[in-house]
Structure 1
């Protein structure tokens, strides 16, 4: 409030042409960092595949189509889950309702919370349509990320840090400004015409001289002399000797930490990308995928079906781009120990399985033998004698 009231002059007026630009520049860097984090998480999750199981068997039926292709008649699955994740990460919560066998993201809603009975959701708005009546907890998907909005934490951090950015920008402008002295002789005429010429020299000709991109000449008369002072043009500098870009990089770094994203991914660095991506999937995407799957399973499937291994799972293992040359050796090992079949390998590469008896068969090299056979072989020596 003290900062806001300080924008007004003593007569209660506010010069919007001055402060509007300052507010826009201060908020821009933080908003850019936050939106970059939100978009990165949303785009990554939308690349995952929702797998549906019935009694432990992977099936593709109506729910699979709804989650992976068309949640409703107006949005594809990719756009729908981007909207869900954007609201969930940016606003800390997201409400999804089911209407006519399809899923819709609520733009706004009210909630009445209870301790020992289901919460009630009312004033639900989807697009421009306000829904009549209310929904109870078991009738909706209510995704919640944290106890407190991450965006509020980022706002608090940025409130003080933006001052350092502003100070650095001012220092940069100061270092790159041209300065000089103009010697005006004491006998310079004091007539109105002479004063007008002096005003034109200072406000028009000098401005053109300083703004010139190429060569420029400054005509001086009446024994006036201009002397260029030493300049710091091209010298980096700012608050505490750092330039503005360093402070902006700091903003991206602490925002990425708040959203549990490796800073190297957000800045687009290529060094150690694989390690950073693995950390991103492990600590940011996988917990988010588990949060979504838990909410869907307990509301859509329920306890009985879940215990019978009928459930939904958000598979994030295929989000990472796979080069066949990088995984060839790993697939060979998985196949020869019987862990993977041919169809499993095709799925890992993003290809359609063959779904034949041969492609689903398990194989094992003769180099492997059961532990019990190895023990029997050790107990029986040459000639059939027991060791």
Structure 2
């Protein structure tokens, strides 16, 4: 054991070949956590970034500075799509987001801030930092856009389950590496004495052998008299190991998607059940976040008096309703006199048309009360 121990300790690669290092430290892989979170959060952020922000007064759209800020260019460094994607990403990942309007009328997202809460007065924010600049003043709640995500499930999952997944992933990765590494046995002729010279020759033989194998598809190394090398094959586990790692990553993504309300098929790009999945996503994931943003904008940008007088901020996100696919339903809604044509346009996320004719109820089918029809012939 003395000779083998001496040789192995001078060559760590050979030591790992013999699986003598039983104290393998598990590395918690942060990229596994980021991979699952970014896949799901970016999916939501990209969809909400496609929203149309409409400032309405008496059912007519206003084209003003707010329209330009929210739909075209919020600030000098971001487009509207980039701004809202970052806004939603920060909202979900950090559980809250703060946006402020600068003195130059730029709407920017705070990278960090501290919130001071009061019982009878509006809360305020201090130490608001944008990139490398920190404001030396307070921002009252009624002067900022602040939204909390309030998803305790995701927070608890991030704190606990990710560690378990990372440990399991690390173990499977280490097992895969051990299963597919090249292993060999070096034999020493019994006629050779175990002195320093012989041990030195054996170590030199091992070093040259490993150097021949390193990063080469074809390896040739000299065979010395008195030393023999036999490769030990453990079988081909590569396909099975990679499949297990892929399933583990997919399982983690699915768990995060379920918490956020995203159908798994959409995250993985599966189109077999696309229509059902997109409806579920819009109703249970996309729409609630859009409504949070819409409520906050109506509360902060529009005063109570303006709101009661008919001024609104409407946020139209993606919808599962398709005009072409629902053409027959649209015809029935209008033909039965249940909706005006402008109301139907609003149902499908389109703007009203400034035409009085489209605000009239019309009936193009023979809908009438049952008692209006009498049977039999006239006498």
TM range (shorter): 0.7 to 0.9
Shift of 1:92: 1.0
> Which of 104, 113, 128 does residue 117 from structure 2 map onto?
113
Structure 1 residue 210, shift from structure 2 partner: 7.1
| Closer/same/farther in 2, CA of residues 359 and 343 from structure 1, 3 Å limit | farther
From 98, 101, 104, the equivalent of 1:98 is 101
Q: 1:329 to 1:375 in 2, by over 3 A?
A: closer
How many residues are paired up?
353
Tell me if 1:297 matches 2:295: no
Cα distance, 1:195 vs structure 2 = 3.9
Q: 1:11 is matched with which residue?
A: none
Alpha-carbon deviations, 1:47-90, whole Å to 9, x = none?
01112221233443333232212223443211221221122111
Question: TM-score if structure 2 supplies the norm length?
Answer: 0.79
Q: Superposition pairs for residues 147-226 of structure 1, below 5 Å? A: 148=152, 150-151=154-155, 153-188=157-192, 194-209=198-213, 212-214=216-218, 216-226=219-229
Measure, in 1, the Cα distance between the counterparts of 2:250 and 2:201: 48
Shift of residue 300 of structure 1?
1.6
2-structure distance, mates of 1:74, 1:209: 51
1:1-387 map, 5 Å: 26-100=29-103, 101-146=105-150, 148=152, 150-151=154-155, 153-188=157-192, 194-209=198-213, 212-214=216-218, 216-236=219-239, 243-318=244-319, 326-333=325-332, 336-337=335-336, 339=339, 341=341, 357=355, 360=358, 366-369=364-367, 373-378=368-373, 380-383=374-377
Secondary structure (helix, strand or coil) at the match of 2:108 reads strand
Give 5+ residue unaligned stretches, structure 1. Answer: 1-20
What is the CA-CA distance between 1:172 and the residue it aligns to? Answer: 0.8
Q: Which range is displaced more, 295-304 or 88-97? A: 295-304
- Cα offset, 1:365, TM superposition: 6.3
Q: CA deviation at 1:204?
A: 1.9
Does the Cα contact within 8 Å between 1:46 and 1:82 map onto a contact in 2?
yes
Q: Distance in 1 between matches of 2:328 and 2:277?
A: 23
Question: Which residue does the alignment assign to 1:10?
Answer: none
For 1:348 and 1:171, the matched residues in 2 are separated by 54
1:168–1:242 contact (8 Å) kept in structure 2: no
The structure-2 alpha-carbon separation of the partners of 1:228 and 1:210, relative to structure 1 and needing over 3 Å to count, comes to: farther
Of 307-316 and 158-167, deviating more is 307-316
3-state SS, counterpart of residue 285 of structure 2: helix
Q: Please, what TM-score do these two structures have when normalized by structure 1?
A: 0.77
Instruction: From the superposition, tell whether residues 147 and 112 of structure 1 become closer, same or farther in structure 2 (CA, over 3 Å).
Output: farther
Partner deviation per Cα, 1:306-357 (whole Å, 9 max, x = no partner) = 2333111211245x696x764554555555456474996699698x99x575
* Matched-pair contact (CA < 8 Å) for 2:145–2:300: yes
Using the TM superposition, give the Cα deviation of residue 286 of structure 1 relative to its aligned residue in structure 2, in angstroms: 0.6
Structure-2 separation of matches of 1:301 and 1:283: 27
Mapped partners of 2:179, 2:172: distance in 1: 10
Q: CA separation in 1, counterparts of 2:56 and 2:182?
A: 71
Over aligned residues, Cα RMSD in angstroms? 3.6
Which range moves more in the overlay, 84-93 or 173-182?
A: 173-182
C-alpha contact 1:154 1:258 (8 A) present in aligned 2: no
